[in-house]
Amino acid sequence: MAEPRRAPHPRNQLNELNGEEWLYFTKSVWTTAYPSELGHARRRAHGANKPPRLMARLIEFFTKPDELVLDPFAGVGGTLLGAAICHGPRRALGFELSARWAEVYAEVAAEASAAAGAGRALADLGSQDPGGPRTFDATGCELRVGDARELLRDLPDASVDFVATDPPYNVQLPMTMSGGALAEAFANRRTDYAMVTDDPADLANLANYPAFLDAMTEILAELRRVLRPGRYAALIVRDAYQDGRYLFTGADLAARAATVGLVPKGDVIWYQAGTRLRPYGYPNVFVPNITHQHLLILRRDPERRPRAGSTGARRGAGGAGAGESGRPAPSS
Ligand SMILES: C[S@@+](CC[C@H](N)C(=O)[O-])C[C@H]1O[C@@H](n2cnc3c(N)ncnc32)[C@H](O)[C@@H]1O
């Protein structure tokens, strides 16, 4: 007979995980292999769609049931679907520039709700997704179409419990390495999906990489404003190879986040084992096939009340957060 699940620590204010589950989550390399589910055949038209189970894992660590998750670059809704399949569904608000992707999300969510109503749960994947089978409840999820920079302004300060998002990773450059004779020879490896819109408000259409970093810095400042003090943001970021050099996009965005008060707390490497390999530099030079993404964990540190008799001058906004002074669990 299976052992009963251990209870969470009584002082755990962040999530509903027990000690073993908490520890497992903190590994800095993740590999995932999830089945095609929750309308994946439709969602894959968006080349950067994220697995709902991956998002659920993040959401279950950084929130409790019914708390509010925000995804300002929601695409076809990986984060919202993740919130809907959490053990104890969370509320989720997504922003997405393209109405096309919002429609895909709406269709997939309606289908999954009908299946859940008919008693069809998501399969138990064992150790690939601990916690047994999952149900689907998207009643607390909403996707708004528009420019995240404008929609964020409508959100009150400190109104969000967790941000989970993957922004456009960079500005879009014309195809170079993947064109030409090799691309003809390896035509079966070309992709047929779309990620970038023609909309000038699409961050991927900015003039260059510095402009992209500047726009992201403004958005990160807004994300800090809307997050409750002590709460987290997980930013999924892919490094890039452009103009003949490697761009450390993950590190660059983590540094920008720190300048606006979202303190970098961790960098989980998400290894995507199924990534297609392309012969970019072959047979002359080394060009990487980037098969990993960064899950940057950022935190709006708790606001500290100055101690009696203290000027408060020794610890600024970027000081160490609660729970990091030797005690095991962070509290907000
Ligand atoms: C990497 S994708 C996110 C994919 C998503 N996680 C999913 O599971 O489908 C980034 C998304 O940001 C959207 N986007 C780009 N600029 C935007 C803006 N200014 N406001 C809102 N969304 C934007 C793009 O249309 C794209 O769908």
pLDDT of amino acid 321? 38
Pocket mutation for ligand 1, best pick of 96, 169, 238, 253 (most atoms within 8 Å of C-beta): 96
- pLDDT attached to residue 327: 39
Worst-scoring range by mean pLDDT, 68-82, 175-189, 221-235? 175-189
| Residue minimizing CA distance to atom 12 of ligand 1 | 73
- Percent of the chain at pLDDT > 70 equals 84
Residues sharing a CB contact under 8 Å with residue 60, sequence separation 6 or more, in sequence order: 15, 16, 17, 86, 87, 131
Other CB atoms within 10 A of residue 254 CB:
23
* Model confidence band, residue 210 (pLDDT cutoffs 50, 70, 90): very high
**At which residue do the structure tokens 């906004």 appear?**
317
List Cβ neighbours of 47 (8 Å cut-off, separation of 6 or more).
191, 193, 194, 195
Q: Tell the residue number behind the tokens 């769609």, with chain if given.
A: 49
Between CA 114 and CA 119 the distance in angstroms is 9
The answer to whether the CB of 219 is under 6 A from ligand 1 is: no
Percent of the chain with pLDDT strictly greater than 90: 72
- What number is the average pLDDT over the span 54-73? 98
Q: How far is the CA of 203 from the centre of ligand 1 (A)?
A: 9
Give 8 Cα–ligand 1 centroid separation in angstroms. 35
Tokens of 85: 């399949």
Q: Whose CA is nearest to atom 26 of ligand 1?
A: 75
* Window from 29-33, 57-61, 177-181 with minimum mean pLDDT: 177-181
Which residue stretches of the chain are H helix?
A: 19-25, 40-43, 52-62, 78-84, 99-117, 148-151, 180-185, 209-226, 249-259
Q: Which residues, other chains included, contact 21 with Cβ-Cβ below 8 Å and sequence gap of 6+? A: 130
Q: State pLDDT tens for residues 265-288.
A: 999 999 988 788 999 999 999 999
The residue whose CA is least distant from atom 18 of ligand 1 is 147
Q: Sketch out the chain's domains with CATH numbers.
A: 19-299 (3.40.50.150)
Query: What tens digit of pLDDT does each residue of 70-88 get?
Result: 999 999 999 999 999 999 9
Contact (Cβ atoms closer than 8 angstroms) between residue 75 and residue 49: yes
Cα 201 to Cα 102, 126, 147, 194, 197, distances in angstroms: 16, 42, 7, 17, 9
Q: Is any ligand 1 atom within 6 A of the Cβ of residue 48? A: yes
Angle between helical axes of 249-259 and 209-226 (0-180°, round to 10): 50
Tokens 């999952």 belong to 134
C-beta 223 within 6 A of ligand 1:
no
Amino acid 194: pLDDT:
57
Q: How far is the CA of 75 from the centre of ligand 1 (A)?
A: 5
Weakest-pLDDT range from 156-165, 188-197, 223-232, 234-243: 188-197
Q: What's the pLDDT band for 173 if we cut at 50, 70, 90?
A: low
Query: In whole angstroms, what is the distance from residue 173 CA to residue 209 CA?
Result: 10
Which burial class, exposed, middle or buried, applies to 96 when counting CB atoms under 10 A from its CB (0-12, 13-18, 19+)? buried
Provide the token pair at 312.
């408060």
Give me the chain's average pLDDT, please. 87
Between 332 and 322, the more confident residue is: 322
Quick: pLDDT tens for 297-312.
999 999 877 776 655 4
pLDDT in tens, 248-267: 999 999 999 999 999 999 99
pLDDT score, position 127: 84
Lowest mean pLDDT, pick from 89-93, 131-135, 162-166: 131-135
Q: Ligand 1 pocket test: which of 202, 216, 223 has the largest number of ligand atoms within 8 Å of its C-beta?
A: 202
pLDDT at 170: 74
For the cut 50, the answer to whether the pLDDT of residue 60 exceeds it is yes
